[in-house]
Structure 1
Amino acid sequence: MQSSLFDDDTRQTLSIEACAKTLAVSEATVRNWIKTGYLTLSNKGHVSHASVMQFKREILGKEKLYQRANKSQKDSHNHLLISADFLARAQSSEPANEALGKDYEDSLSDSYKNQEGIYYTPEHIVNDLFNLSDTSVKHKTFCDPCCGSGNFLLRALDLGFKPENLFGFDIDPVAVAIAKKRIFDHTGFVSNQIICADFLHLATTQETGHYDYIFTNPPWGKKIAKSEKDRLSRLLQAGNSLDTCALFYFACLHALNTHGVLGLLLPDAFFNVSAYADARASALSYQITRLCDYAKAFKGLQTNAVGLVLTKQENDAARQIDCLYENVHFQRTSDSLRHNPKYIFNLSCNNDEAALITHLYRIPHLTLEGYARWGLGIVTGNNTKYLRDKPEQGYVSVYKGSDITPRVLKTATNFLGTDFSQYQQVAPLHLYQAAEKLIYKFISSRLCFFYDTEARFIINSANLLITDDKFPISMSLLADLLNSELLNWLFKKLFNTHKVLRSDLERLPIHAQFLTDGHFIEADYLNALNIEKTEHGTFRIKK
């Protein structure tokens, strides 16, 4: 029987070619591991057999190189080894293209990408978002502050920017090496302006330079200390918008020339979540030219990716914004966004729908803010341990979100022990035991409220609210209003979310002057608001 390569312990060295075949990598990767000290080079270009054995036993045996070595290991990876492999490929004569950057991204674990907020932009989105009519770009400068493997930089070259006018930053040396190699392969130009550096840090020290065009996909939700976020926010004047994508938005503005163009690919939360309100207010002070919803652009991410393009000049309220939503093109005015609560960018609305929303908010109204007490459903911390599927002595019925309908609760199928001290999170018991309250689905894209008068308990897929005595309408009537078609339409068009958040409910307009404590009749409510329902199931202002 033929012996394996390592059966002969008397063999002292391996050729680089044999070593590459043994370890199932390229010869360039072996050379890079020699440079980084993982393998020991012996005489005449051979690798020490002992170092290969040690490397295979102590490193490859414990930490898989990359995804193709062990595709099930998606929560961890050996970043040093992956870096060595891809640096070698970037330094080789192998042509560098988008696929090399994609291979590198795929080699990184999901947990690492989540930690660093790394999701490289697909080429079709780069081409659509970064699409200019400017014919003088050969005299302009371009920067990608989070350049990754260079997709936006290569797009800039295709649009006519000169390679010597391209600038890029990234904290990942491997991505920077791939980007520089791609520029060289495309133009023959060796750039020293694509550098490994933290653009956020440079922006706060006024060392970024200033550019005519900035297009980038900044890290989404990168995990950094709150103290550092607060420091960056203070220096960048970002207000309460503390997520890394918002901080990059403000950093890019600082580095953009007057009349320059900024394009960002951002999570949809940037456009409708309260935490980003300061960033949206800032964007509305400039001339927004495009808003494009690219749906779920990244594998493994449930959030939509939305493109924002603006020019750094004073906003012209009369100018239309080109919008793309669900492959439909239409136009909006910036005023139609400015009048939304918290400056929400509700991209799913056309101008007529936006006008209706503005109409609803212009009519005198109340909101629930300051008029209600709120409570979360019970969080046990371990439903399998604590919930029962049949009633037992000392247990009470509990209702989950899927049990709630506007008119009735489904029969309880979950029961919970009454020693509430053992659970992870419990609202004050008097809220659950109130004589009347509203309970509602939390995980839902629709409003679904039930008026409860039997002191029922709920678990964490349901929440509750109790209005104050000074609120002018009854809770039963409020439940009917919140379940109405109009409020559901408004909720979807304004917030477009799959969670019913307290902050969103507190922004809904309640026109109490058109409501009485009698039975809610939606047709009468619409008529009082001068609104009519269309044949397509939507709403419009009466003509």
Structure 2
Amino acid sequence: MEKSELLSVKEASEILGVSSATVKNWIKLGKLKGQRNGAFFLLSQKDVLDKSSELASSTDLRSRRNKSRQSSNFIPKSYISASSPNYKTIKNLILCEDFSKNNIKDILCSYSHGLLKKAGVPQNISKILLKSLKSSSQSDVSYNKKISGLDCNSHTKNYPLVLIPKEDTLGMLYLSLRSMQDKKSTGAYYTPFFVADELIKNVFADIPSKEISGKKILDPACGTGNFLIRLPENVPLSNIYGYDIDSTAIAIARINLAIRYKITSQNELDIIFSNIRSRDFLFDTEKESLAYDHVIGNPPWGYAFKRPQINAIKKLFESFEGKGKPESFTLFVEKALKCSKSLCFVLPETILSSDYHCGIRKYILKMSCIKQLCYLGEAFDKVQCPCITLQLTKGLYISHIKASFYKKQNKGGRTLCLLRSFVVPKSRIDSDNFNILADDSEYAILQKMHEVPHFTLKDNCDFALGIVTGANSTLLSDTYSNGLEPIIKGKDISKYSISVGNTYTAFSPDKYQQVAPISLYRAQDKLFYRFIANEPVVALDRNALLSLNSANIMVPHVNGYSNYYIMAILNSSAMSFYYRHTCKNLKVLRSTLETLPIPICDEVTRKEITKMSKMISDYYANNDQSFDEEIVLKTIKRLDKCVANLYNLNADQVKILSE
């Protein structure tokens, strides 16, 4: 076989839209043929392309949650209000069987024409705006003929859209027509209307109304203009700017602004075409030193850059340290700070603490001050990624940062509910971590806990990930038979307790995709901890049980301190409080567990805590029925109080723990 017909694992993974680890596992399981080349594998280009075709027509990857291969239409239910009459109309329209046969641009053109007409935009101006939605192969004659017949289009008659001020109805329609695959590859995800509203409200909250009209505002990844059409009423059209690499989205953004401002003149049309452009904000060389007062929006997350772009990024962006793949949203932050006085973006929460994003945090602290940080939780539908809004300012010293916490509510229409808000000194953050999870009274508890004599699990514990089978359907069973043994999942673990579920496996390390040293799985005195959790959830195993990677393993070896003692500290209310106010991650990571302060204490106290912890563990393991549940619950409370005393917490601080 010619060398040019062979692919590396990485090249194969890019074609298949899966990780390199998955490709290696498929080779191991015989799902792909691979030939060894020293320490590496090479794959036949034909085999990889055949596999790609097979995946495109199967549901295998959908069940693996791989959105890059999903081709079904996704209706973003929070993009506009569910109470809007247009929401139900668009949903019914997308599900209409014969509707799917239409060209996307033709559909958008039809509905844009109708909404422009309802807004009172003159026909000569509408024609120019709609021309951007013309198919590249379409002649001007056929296009003009199509425009003249739009009023009798059957879909616009059967499924009419209503003109609603500041609602991105056309954007909702466009996003619903696009496949998940398109959005994933470009890093583009819709922004719920209530997130856009909250961001805009926070940006302009401290600006006097009479001053807003003089502010130049840019959304550098504006999409269909969702943020721009929701700006305050007194922002003039001439001060609104928007860029995007999606020319269809830009065409819709222009139409949206024409509708919002009900334009009637050629001058207004010229402003829209001049200010709202199909442009690559990151790589455009146009000089923009402090060109804007505010940059707002939701930049792309996880855009797939090509190799030449990555080479350019290394030269153009200070925050990218050249390791791994560049992350698009961090590059947008850097570029926006170079051309504006203020920035407020919707961003994934990981930007605050992930080591991977340390470069942009350093750049932010060097170039600006953080004014406000809002935690929004999982505000996006079908995107399990907590998000934030981060507001930065330049040229103005700010000594304190405002932190706010919101929760998405679905009752009575989707909205964000403010849970609490407080202000802290800017000294509370550094480039290692931007999280602000504790107010002043809570922070005093954290400091006190960290100041007591303590040890950590760093270099004092062996850690192991649970098993990744790579093929659950063939290597796991939900019924027991000879040769099988239980395997624990994260949901089987509670504090002090392991509930052996109904999942079994025949332990075969050579068949698994990922497996830790067998000695750690078979350790007679090990701790399991739940991987997906917002606090440590730990239980002791004395039966050498196996676990999947949702239930990971710790084997501490701290002289004089038993695993029962360490389990008691990690499960305590004090440690739960410490964890939740220093770590904002739904995954309990080894790196975090290794930093938690475990108090050093005298032998008498140590034995007392160990005894209580063992009694609780034995009760839940059904090994000791000499205590009833009421006694166990009282023991847990007594143990909690004992741990709080180790951290020197007073009565008022203990009360805060329970709150």
Q: What band does the TM-score fall into relative to the shorter chain?
A: 0.7 to 0.9
- CA shift at 1:171, angstroms? 0.9
CA displacement 1:203-257 (0-9 Å, x = unmatched):
xx4645532211111122334458855853663222469432222212211222x
**1:274-313 equivalent positions in 2, closer than 5 A:** 274-284=355-365, 286-313=368-395
Matched, 1:254 2:338: yes
Residue 102 (structure 1) aligns with: 172
Residue 242 (structure 2) aligns with: 168
**1:4-153 equivalent positions in 2, closer than 5 A:** 71=95, 81-86=103-108, 89-90=111-112, 93-94=116-117, 95=119, 98-131=168-201, 132=204, 133-134=207-208, 135-153=210-228
**1:107-256 equivalent positions in 2, closer than 5 A:** 107-131=177-201, 132=204, 133-134=207-208, 135-156=210-231, 158-160=233-235, 162-185=236-259, 186=261, 187=263, 188=265, 189=268, 190=270, 191=272, 192-202=274-284, 205=285, 207-208=287-288, 210-224=291-305, 228=309, 232=313, 235-239=316-320, 242-256=326-340
- CA shift at 1:403, angstroms? 2.3
What CA distance in whole angstroms lies between the structure 2 residues aligned with 1:533 and 1:111? 55
* CA separation of 1:351 and 1:66: change in aligned 2, threshold 3 A: closer
Q: Is the 8 A contact 2:73 2:180 kept in 1?
A: no
CA displacement 1:52-80 (0-9 Å, x = unmatched):
xxxxxxxxxxx99997665499xxx99x9
SS of the residue aligned with 1:220? coil
- CA shift at 1:261, angstroms? 1.4
Structure 2 residue identity aligned to 1:85: I
Residue 554 (structure 2) aligns with: 465
Give the TM-score taking structure 2 as reference length. 0.63
The partner residue of 1:328 within 419, 424, 437 is 419
CA displacement 1:473-524 (0-9 Å, x = unmatched):
3333211111111111222233243322223223323333578642424433
Identity of aligned residues (%): 26
SS of the residue aligned with 2:227? helix
The partner residue of 1:501 within 551, 574, 589 is 589
- CA shift at 1:412, angstroms? 5.0
**1:293-372 equivalent positions in 2, closer than 5 A:** 293-313=375-395, 315-317=397-399, 319-321=400-402, 323-326=404-407, 327-335=418-426, 337-338=428-429, 342-347=432-437, 349-363=438-452, 365-372=454-461
Q: Is the 8 A contact 1:288 1:315 kept in 2?
A: no
SS of the residue aligned with 2:293? strand
Give the TM-score taking structure 1 as reference length. 0.75
Structure 2 residue identity aligned to 1:440: Y
The partner residue of 1:424 within 476, 490, 513 is 513
Q: Is the 8 A contact 1:284 1:315 kept in 2?
A: no
What CA distance in whole angstroms lies between the structure 1 residues aligned with 2:651 and 2:171? 50
What CA distance in whole angstroms lies between the structure 2 residues aligned with 1:119 and 1:229? 22
SS of the residue aligned with 1:373? strand
SS of the residue aligned with 2:514? coil
Structure 2 residue identity aligned to 1:173: S
- CA shift at 1:368, angstroms? 2.7
Deviates more, 1:327-336 or 1:171-180: 327-336
Aligned residues: 465
Structure 1 residue identity aligned to 2:464: G
Q: Is the 8 A contact 1:346 1:496 kept in 2?
A: no
Q: Is the 8 A contact 1:127 1:155 kept in 2?
A: yes
* CA separation of 1:365 and 1:278: change in aligned 2, threshold 3 A: farther
The gaps in structure 2 that reach 5 residues or longer are 1-70, 76-91, 120-162, 408-417, 610-638
Which has the larger share of helix?
2
SS of the residue aligned with 2:485? strand
Q: Is the 8 A contact 2:403 2:436 kept in 1?
A: no
Deviates more, 1:359-368 or 1:379-388: 359-368
What CA distance in whole angstroms lies between the structure 2 residues aligned with 1:470 and 1:66? 52
What CA distance in whole angstroms lies between the structure 2 residues aligned with 1:360 and 1:156? 45
The gaps in structure 1 that reach 5 residues or longer are 1-62
What CA distance in whole angstroms lies between the structure 2 residues aligned with 1:64 and 1:463? 35
Matched, 1:527 2:618: no
Q: Is the 8 A contact 2:466 2:548 kept in 1?
A: yes
What CA distance in whole angstroms lies between the structure 1 residues aligned with 2:428 and 2:103? 48
What CA distance in whole angstroms lies between the structure 1 residues aligned with 2:371 and 2:184? 30
Structure 2 residue identity aligned to 1:112: D
* CA separation of 1:417 and 1:538: change in aligned 2, threshold 3 A: same
What CA distance in whole angstroms lies between the structure 2 residues aligned with 1:164 and 1:358? 51
* CA separation of 1:471 and 1:513: change in aligned 2, threshold 3 A: same
- CA shift at 1:89, angstroms? 4.9
* CA separation of 1:64 and 1:500: change in aligned 2, threshold 3 A: closer
- CA shift at 1:142, angstroms? 1.7
* CA separation of 1:337 and 1:228: change in aligned 2, threshold 3 A: farther
